[in-house]
Amino acid sequence: MLFTCKQPKPTIKLDEETYRPGDTVTGTATVTITKEQRARSITVFWSGRGHDYISPDFFIDNCPERQFLEGKETVWREFPGETTIPIGTYNFPFFFKLPDKIHSSFYPRDEHNARYLVKYYVKVVVNIPFHFDLKQKIYFRVVNGIPHPDLRVVVRYGRLKGGSDEDDGTRVVCTARSRRHLQTR
């Protein structure tokens, strides 16, 4: 085995999986230390971004990206003379409020063919000096009851699940609008 040193294991647990605009996201970041570990800080980040792709067959790195949510909170920081975290399990509760006007989460099952994505996540980072930082990321959903004009989903030729077993040509048509108008049909 090349690397036998046991590293801290960060995990994140959110109180809910789905939130609405204006809700307070609450959860706990847990770091398990199995061997005394030097660390500079433990930080919880949260972010929400929309990414617009030109075509599913042609990925462009400089596609428009919109930031809907961003923040961070340092839940532990080294103090002079105390640069190690003792063995144990440490829970760091956190919370943040979602804006009242925010996009709903949007990501299809096949993200490689997506034209537009909106994702929200919480990430905990253990900053270890002279080593790779340890990270854990968890996604959560934001559901807005009012569709946003920049992102419309239209269902055509629809069939409800649980209906007939026959294939009736069900398909979903998504239209995403950003700086330029994109459509898939």
How do the domains of the chain map onto residue ranges?
A: 9-148
Closest to 71 (Cα-Cα) out of 92, 100, 104, 94:
94
Structure tokens, 10: 């960060």
Cα separation of 48 and 139, whole Å? 10
pLDDT of residue 9: 78
Q: Is the dihedral of CA 73, 128, 137, 66 positive or negative?
A: positive
Specify the CATH class of 9-148 in words: mainly beta
pLDDT of residue 109: 67
Closest to 182 (Cα-Cα) out of 120, 114, 110:
114
pLDDT of residue 51: 75
Cα separation of 119 and 121, whole Å? 7
- 111 Cβ partners below 8 Å, 6+ apart? 117
Q: Which residues of the chain have pLDDT under 50?
A: 1-4, 148-185
Tallying the residues shown for the chain, one arrives at 185
- 57 Cβ partners below 8 Å, 6+ apart? none
pLDDT of residue 74: 92
Full DSSP string of 56-77: TTB--TT--EEEEEEEEEEEEE
pLDDT of residue 76: 87
pLDDT of residue 104: 87
pLDDT of residue 39: 85
Cα separation of 83 and 47, whole Å? 28
